């Protein structure tokens, strides 16, 4: 707009015979005439803004009428004009509203006549058309830039779950697309909801301020946006006592703070500052951006919590597997090592048998640990995700191998697997861990002389029974981690666990799982 208006001023002065001229635009928010173009007015005499009643353009703003006469006769002259300067001030109107002022002047002894005033009125109409067209074009560009911003912000939610990166990209987008000089996106501190944590910045603030700020919501324009849960539009921060200027920066003209709200919760603020007044289009577009940011912030936090829950669940699974497999085997190994020296002194052959058992248990523990490490490897995770089957021993084979290593020679072991049919891997793993936990508890706490393991297959499920003739288990064992793990494993697969006294003594553990036959290759 400015180059076009400058050409209009120059042509008007040349045609009318004026020595200098100016076009000022009306700024309703400040009720002033702001210089937009000039011709041959010295820089030290050209004022950027004139309030109502000041100088030639301010006087036309005050009266709303054309003015022709000597500059020195103005009630409030604003510039050091040459003595005897004759001037014309012409309102520029569009749709009946004053949108600017066109002013020209000539040096003594010449004056400007009525014909000059008529010509200036024609030029004022041309200036009005130019201003209106430029403003329409500018508004269309502003609307287009806001659509571009909304599209860019909407895409940020799909860019990734990292909250700081998301907010920084949003701050950069607001600055780049809408050309706001300063952008802040503070969030309420989760540990102190009365404080805004300011670490995400865009524009000049991103370049100038490298530290993190904390602002109580009881202070500042951003604090007011949080407290009142509504936008705060301040087009003259110098006149607003709430304004808080960051140290080391130049205060802006205006600030617009939009609360970021999701549901009933205020999450933070989208704050912009600039050297021009903000309007309804700024407010409406940034409110939509704030809504998008609210959803993106909540989604990011939900993803973070889901990730934390998944990590915790995996850690609990790993702890359970370590307890139910490796720890139980190590407990059996510990019992053997405690009695190894005495058994060797009594009977070297018994000592050798125990050493052989110790070796078998160590190999079994190594195999279990290697299996757990394999499950944790990325390659194994990818194989499971792809559904690639893996070869593994059958449940009866795994059970016999484990029991032969765990059960001491003096304890009779009876296995009756009947018409067992291969079940899903998850089901067989659960049954094996129940057997391992139950047998380990019996050996360590009940001193049994025999242990019996049986399976019974029905049309709907499989029942596993582990019975010993020891002295039974106490209440503490009933509530221990191992028993809880057994219940959890079965419950996850739709099964259940019962612990009963054995007859005439000992303990019976009954596990039930719905039938899930393994499909044949």
What is the torsional sign of CA 338, 344, 346, 350?
A: positive
pLDDT band at 158 (very low <50, low <70, confident <90, very high): low
Residues spanned by CATH 3.30.565.10 within the chain? Answer: 392-521
pLDDT band at 388 (very low <50, low <70, confident <90, very high): very low
- The predicted model gives 67-94 an average pLDDT of 92
Better-predicted residue by pLDDT, 490 or 300:
490
Which of 40-49, 307-316, 361-370 is predicted with the least confidence, judged by mean pLDDT?
307-316
* Percent of the chain whose pLDDT exceeds 90: 46
Better-predicted residue by pLDDT, 213 or 374:
213
Rounded CA-CA distance 314/320 in Å is 10
Which of 18-27, 326-335, 491-500 is predicted with the least confidence, judged by mean pLDDT?
326-335
Name the CATH topology of 162-302: Beta-Lactamase (3.30.450)
- The predicted model gives 486-513 an average pLDDT of 90
pLDDT band at 377 (very low <50, low <70, confident <90, very high): low
Residues spanned by CATH 3.30.450.40 within the chain? Answer: 2-146, 162-302
User: Which positions ≥6 away from 483 have C-beta within 8 Å?
Assistant: 437, 477, 497, 499
Better-predicted residue by pLDDT, 484 or 97:
97
Residue of 191, 199, 195 lying closest to 246 (CA atoms): 199
CATH class, range 2-146: alpha beta
User: Which parts of 136-227 are beta strand (E)?
Assistant: 182-184, 187-189, 192-198, 201-203, 213-216
The CA-atom distances, in angstroms, between 145 and each of 99, 277, 278, 279 are 25, 17, 15, 15
Rounded CA-CA distance 230/393 in Å is 66
Bridging pattern class, strands 412-416 and 450-457 = parallel
pLDDT band at 26 (very low <50, low <70, confident <90, very high): very high
Tens digit of each residue's pLDDT (9 = 90 or more) over 102-113: 999 999 999 999
pLDDT band at 389 (very low <50, low <70, confident <90, very high): very low
Residue of 500, 502, 506 lying closest to 470 (CA atoms): 506
Tens digit of each residue's pLDDT (9 = 90 or more) over 393-427: 888 888 988 888 888 888 899 999 988 889 998 89
User: Per-residue DSSP letters for 446-490?
Assistant: I--SEEEEEEEE-SSEEEEEEEE-SS---HHHHTSHHHHHHHHHH
Name the CATH topology of 392-521: Heat Shock Protein 90 (3.30.565)
Structure tokens at 202: 């865009």
Of 134-138, 246-250, 490-494, 503-507, give the range with the top mean pLDDT.
490-494
| Average model confidence (pLDDT) across the chain | 86
Q: Is the pLDDT of residue 514 over 50?
A: yes
- The predicted model gives 278-294 an average pLDDT of 89
- The predicted model gives 77-93 an average pLDDT of 91
Q: Is the pLDDT of residue 519 over 50?
A: yes
Q: Is the pLDDT of residue 159 over 60?
A: no
Across the chain, how many H-helices and E-strands are there?
A: 14, 19
- The predicted model gives 245-263 an average pLDDT of 90
Contact in structure between 182 and 274 (CB atoms under 8 Å):
yes
């Amino acid at each position: 707009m400015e180059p076009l208006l400058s050409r209009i001023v120059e042509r008007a002065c040349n045609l009318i015979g004026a020595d200098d001229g100016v076009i000022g635009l009306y700024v309703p928010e400040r009720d002033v005439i702001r210089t937009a173009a000039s011709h041959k007015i010295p820089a030290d005499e050209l004022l950027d803004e004139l309030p109502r009643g000041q100088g030639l353009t301010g006087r036309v703003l005050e009266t709303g009428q054309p003015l022709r006469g000597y500059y020195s006769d103005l009630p409030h002259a604003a510039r050091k004009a040459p003595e005897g300067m004759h001037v014309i001030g012409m309102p520029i109107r569009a749709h009946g509203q004053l949108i600017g002022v066109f002013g020209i002047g000539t040096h003594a002894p010449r004056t400007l006549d009525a014909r000059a005033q008529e010509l200036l009125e024609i030029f004022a109409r041309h200036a009005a058309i130019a201003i209106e067209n430029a403003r329409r074009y500018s508004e269309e560009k502003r609307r287009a830039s806001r659509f571009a911003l909304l599209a860019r912000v909407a895409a940020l939610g799909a860019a990734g779950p990292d909250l700081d990166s998301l907010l920084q990209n949003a701050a950069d987008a607001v600055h780049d697309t809408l050309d706001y000089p300063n952008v802040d996106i503070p969030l309420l501190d989760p540990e102190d909801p009365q404080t805004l944590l300011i670490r995400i910045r865009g524009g000049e603030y991103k370049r100038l301020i490298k530290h993190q700020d904390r602002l109580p919501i009881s202070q500042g324009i951003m604090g007011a946006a949080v407290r009142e849960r509504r936008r705060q539009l301040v087009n003259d921060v110098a006149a607003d006592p709430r304004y808080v200027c960051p140290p080391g920066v130049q205060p802006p003209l205006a600030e617009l703070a939009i609360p970021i709200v999701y549901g009933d919760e205020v999450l933070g603020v989208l704050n912009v500052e600039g050297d021009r007044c903000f309007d309804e289009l700024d407010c409406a577009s940034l409110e939509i951006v704030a809504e998008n940011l609210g959803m993106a912030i909540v989604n990011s936090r939900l993803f973070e919590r889901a990730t934390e829950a998944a990590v915790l669940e995996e850690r609990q699974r790993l702890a359970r597997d370590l307890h139910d497999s490796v720890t139980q085997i190590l407990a059996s190994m510990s019992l053997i090592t405690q009695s190894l020296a005495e058994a060797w002194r009594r009977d070297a052959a018994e000592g050798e048998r125990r050493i052989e058992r110790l070796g078998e248990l160590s190999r079994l523990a190594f195999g279990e640990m290697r299996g757990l490490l394999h499950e944790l490897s990325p390659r194994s995770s990818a194989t499971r995700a792809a559904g690639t089957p893996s070869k593994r021993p059958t449940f009866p084979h795994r059970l016999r191998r484990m029991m032969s290593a765990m059960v001491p020679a003096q304890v009779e072991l009876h296995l009756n697997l009947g018409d067992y049919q291969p079940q899903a891997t998850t089901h067989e793993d659960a049954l094996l861990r129940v057997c391992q936990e139950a047998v380990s508890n019996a050996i360590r706490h009940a001193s049994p002389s025999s242990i019996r393991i049986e399976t019974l297959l029905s049309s709907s499920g499989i029942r596993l029974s582990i019975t010993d003739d020891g002295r039974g288990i106490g209440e503490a064992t009933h509530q221990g981690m191992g028993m809880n793990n057994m219940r959890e494993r079965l419950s996850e697969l739709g099964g259940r666990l019962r612990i009963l006294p054995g007859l005439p003594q000992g303990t019976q553990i009954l596990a039930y799982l719905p039938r899930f036959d393994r499909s044949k290759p």
